[in-house]
Amino acid sequence: MLLYRQFQHGKPRVTEPSWPRSGENLEITHKRGKPTLRTIATIAGLAVTTVSRALSDAPQISLETRQRVHRIAREIGYLPDRAAQRLKTGRTNVIAILLDSHEEVVGFSTSIMYGIAKALKETSYHLVVAPNFLSTTDVEAAEYIVRNHLADGLIFTRTEPLDARVRLLLETGFPFICHGRTEFSTPHPYVDYDNFTFAYEATRRLIAKGRKKVAVVLPPKRLTFCQHILHGFMTAVREAGIAYEIPETVDLDTPADVLRDFISSRAAALEAPDGFICPGEVSALAVISGMSDAGRTLAVDYDIVAKETSRLLTQLQPKVDTIHEDLTAAGEDLGRMLLQRINNADAEDLHLLLPPQINFPVDQAL
């Protein structure tokens, strides 16, 4: 025991440091090849415990030792073993994103995921895609993840006012953040796009352009942001005292051909709208297509203001006024704020309403 101490610890202290330097051969190969805490400990002539604490910058380890350990770790390319850390601490270092089948069609979530990944880049967190692991519904998927501690936090989109996922996660106290708001009284973290302002400004734009009757393609009614859009739309409509119309049989998730046919037959009938709010690229294209079928020309017979999450629409149809929603940025915020939540930040401080980016070209303004 004493001998061990003399050899392991005493020596480096008395004489010159004896661990190998940068250029020398550091191949203290472990069973699996990868360097571990023990590799560093051997090199530094320290105990594994000390190395562990030094790497987490515990104050009781002397500054000199900490720096030395950090340097060695860097030199041999040490990376803590995720499995061992997870086993010991119970933290998974994983963020899960729930993607429902809606996303498959639209490709909506790629940008968001890209943003989340960006936020996670410098951290030890990984992003795992949880389509719905063994379950059929989103809630079951969430439940499964929570029950089995498959992640430290959860992200999902398209909330409903009394979203079942939110309810579950609030009840279990599991860290999460969602894209979209709810009506629960308990505050919870969220990132949302200001769809009220989007719809309000979009409607005002149509009115400013002299349109006489405006219409809006609403999202499915069960989603929270449908109310926001409706509210923004109606506010602008009432302020201006203008005619309006809200299609009941189609919505944002309606297949493009159905929406197109609806629009074109509506255009043929009496008192058709001449201004459209489209909260998505696909719906905008469908409207353009439908109106074109009915012989109407964009920017002449009617106008569109569309929300776009790419630059596709602006590029293809400069005549469409667009208001941008930056989903990658939203994803970045989602990731960042969820990490804060996991570190026990107050839910009330984790609310973010992202402002619409209005792109109306000046030369087209009246």
Which run of H or of E encompasses 276? Answer: strand 275-278
Q: How many residues are listed for the chain in this entry?
A: 366
How far apart (Å, rounded) are the C-alpha atoms in residues 366 and 205? 10
Binds 62: which of its own copies, DNA, none (CB < 5-8 Å by kind): DNA
Closest separation in Å from C-beta 118 to its own copies = 7
Residues 44 and 72: beta-carbon distance below 8 Å: yes
How many chain residues are in contact with DNA, going by CB under 7 A? 38
- 330 closest CA partner among 101, 155, 201, 187: 155
77 binds its own copies (CB under 8 A): yes
CA distance 23 to 18: 14
* Residue located via tokens 């017979």: 301
Which of 30/238 has CB closer to DNA? 30
Asked whether the beta carbons of 309 and 108 are under 8 A apart, the reply is yes
Q: Which does residue 301 bind out of DNA, its own copies, none, counting CB within 5 to 8 angstroms by kind?
A: none
Stretch of residues binding its own copies (CB under 8 A), selected from 40-48, 78-86, 214-222, 350-358: 78-86
Q: Using CB under 7 A, pick the residue from 46, 116, 202, 267 that binds DNA.
A: 46
Residue 52: partners with Cβ closer than 8 Å, 6 or more residues away = 37
254 interacts with, out of its own copies, DNA, none, CB within 5 to 8 A per kind: none
The answer to the question of residue 85 lying near DNA (CB under 7 A) is: yes
Tell me the C-alpha distance between 129 and 257, whole Å.
Answer: 31
All residues at 6 or more sequence positions from 160 whose CB lies less than 8 Å from its CB, including other chains: 182, 222, 223, 224
Measured CA to CA, the distance from residue 87 to residue 320 in angstroms comes to 54
CB 337 within 8 A of CB 191: yes
Q: Where are the alpha helices (DSSP H) in the chain?
A: 2-5, 11-14, 37-44, 48-55, 63-76, 82-89, 101-106, 109-120, 138-147, 164-172, 195-208, 224-240, 256-268, 281-293, 312-316, 327-342
Binding to its own copies by CB under 8 A, coded x per residue (else -) over 302-331, reads --------xxx-xxxxx---------x---
DSSP symbols for 102-118? HHHHH-THHHHHHHHHH
Strand locations in 126-196 (E): 126-130, 153-157, 176-179, 190-193
> Should residue 30 be labelled a site residue for DNA when binding is judged by CB under 7 A?
yes
Q: Side chain identity at 113, as an amino acid letter?
A: M
Partner in contact with 47, chosen from DNA, its own copies, none, beta carbon below 5 to 8 Å by kind: DNA
Using CB under 7 A, which of 1, 3, 134, 300 touches DNA? 1
Query: Counting contacts by CB under 7 A, is residue 38 touching DNA?
Result: yes
Asked if residue 98 binds DNA (CB under 7 A), the reply is no
Q: How far is the CB of 153 from DNA (least distance, A)?
A: 18
The entry of its own copies, DNA, none that residue 9 binds, CB within 5 to 8 Å by partner kind = DNA
> Footprint of its own copies on residues 141-180 (CB under 8 A)?
147-150
What, of DNA, its own copies, none, does residue 49 touch, CB below 5 to 8 Å by kind? DNA
Q: Is 113 among the residues that bind its own copies (CB under 8 A)?
A: yes
Q: Residue 244: which H helix or E strand, with range?
A: strand 243-245
Q: Which stretch binds DNA (CB under 7 A): 43-51, 175-183, 235-243, 287-295?
A: 43-51
Whichever of 61 and 330 has its CB closer to DNA, that residue is 61
| Cβ 296 to its own copies shortest distance, Å | 15
Which residue's CB is nearer to DNA, number 114 or number 133?
133
- Given the rule CB under 7 A, which residues bind DNA? 1-2, 4-5, 8-10, 13, 30-32, 34, 36-38, 45-50, 52-53, 55-56, 60-62, 64-65, 78, 80-81, 84-85, 87-89
- Given the rule CB under 8 A, which residues bind its own copies? 32, 34, 77, 79, 81-84, 86-87, 90, 92, 94, 99, 101, 103-111, 113-114, 117-118, 121-122, 126-131, 133-134, 147-150, 255-257, 260, 282, 285-286, 289, 310-312, 314-318, 328
